[in-house]
Amino acid sequence: MSHTATPKPVRVHRAKSFAGTTRVPGDKSISHRALMFGALATGRTRITGLLEADDVINTAKAVAALGCPAHKTGDLWEVLGRGVGGLVQPKSAIDFGNSGTGTRLMMGVIAGNEISVTMTGDASLSKRPMRRVLDPLKAMGARVLDDQMTLPLTLRGSARLIPIVYETPVPSAQVKSAVLLAGLSAAGATTVIEKEATRDHTERMLRAFGAEITTETRGAKTAITVKGQAELQGRDVTVPGDPSSAAFLAAAAAIVPGGDVTIEGVLVNATRIGFYTTLQEMGADVAFLNAREDGGEPIADIRVRQGTLRGVSVPPARAPSMIDEYPVLACVAAFADGTTRMDGLAELKVKESDRLAATVAGLVANGVAAKVDGDAMIVTGGRGVPGGGTVATHMDHRMAMAFLVLGLGSDAPVTVDDITYVATSFPSFQALMTACGATFERM
């Protein structure tokens, strides 16, 4: 996607119905990791169901630039890995577009190689904080030229990283993953200590690729340790449906009268389903069907039916398991009777946009009572959603999709100022939503 793409405004109309059985694209977190771990392994990694969205394609281009060809044949992606510490100096800067996950995890991948990599991104990504990842990597022996802590920056890796014990100051799967990935190259064991559990895809997939990883509880904390100088082997990976993408269809089914949607083959890892737990608490009918496991990850079909929604308090401890779903949850809360309070959302201020402020602004523009209270978001619903407003998305794909969902239940159409960035995570969003009953109008 061009970083200066022309904005594409879209208006969404109230839906008469929202129903169907569908599949969402592959999970973004697992798609990124499958490509990177394939690069760090020896031999060939074959990936089925890879999310072919801009963020992930940029990661595929990045591993190729580091000497690990990644290409698609039919429905199958293949990565030819070079092993831990075997990456090569890229010929030019690597552009990560809009992807914070791709950037931060790749910093951990690069750190253990004797190469210098200039990392760039679009205007939105260039504003996002990188210090939280770079500080522990620097402690291990990587260097950031000019001590630059936002993109563009140049990271100098080292073949002689030292193992560390690192306690994450804020819950972040990206920080944890970057340190563990760097730890694969270190001479000894690297440990990350978490106060709150975060998504554990890195640990699960590294085990599947042959890394030695242990997880133990230490009081109220969790310690994850990886053994360094690891040798990973190429694997076959099946990427399950992305629960964060499925959340938009689930939310629509919860608010449109008679809504009934089944989303097949979705990842239901316990660290990723806080949104669905919250929907159940609000009164939506949520069922996990046909539960199974593939590649070390739990998968199920998720059926969501409309219910009488009520406001709830969402505890801060749930935030890491649904951090990307708060904008769409706030839109659902607009249709719930009473007040919904969502606590512990400091992380939302440093996403693709300040999602906390932007979500509240979008709700208020459409006649919903909403406010920010410190690190909390408070939404009062139950009187219907007037709609009729225009939402500023700030180049944020999840903001765009969340407010298109809001419009499906509002009295007047809702306009979103730009859907260009939806392609970063969910290129088929409009097609799938339309098939279930949504009506979008290009402006």
Structure tokens at 215: 């997880």
Residue 324 known to be catalytic? yes
Q: Which residues contact 243 (CB under 8 A, 6 or more apart)?
A: 27, 266, 267, 268, 269, 272, 273, 275, 276, 302
- The secondary structure of 226-286 as a DSSP string is EESS--EE--EEEPPBPHHHHHHHHHHHHHSTT-EEEEEEEE--TTS-HHHHHHHHHT-EE
Q: What is the CA radius of gyration of the chain?
A: 21
Q: In what order do the strands lie in the sheet with 313-314?
A: 313-314, 338-342, 376-381, 369-373
- H helix or E strand, kind and range, residue 221: strand 221-227
Rounded Cα distance between 125 and 313, Å, is 31
List the beta bridge partners of residue 78. 46, 71
Q: Packing angle between helix 429-436 and helix 243-255, nearest 10 degrees?
A: 30
Rounded Cα distance between 132 and 177, Å, is 12
Q: Which residues contact 190 (CB under 8 A, 6 or more apart)?
A: 140, 163, 164, 165, 166, 179, 180, 182, 183, 225, 226, 228
Catalytic residue among 324, 396, 417, 418: 324
Q: Catalytic residue numbers?
A: 324
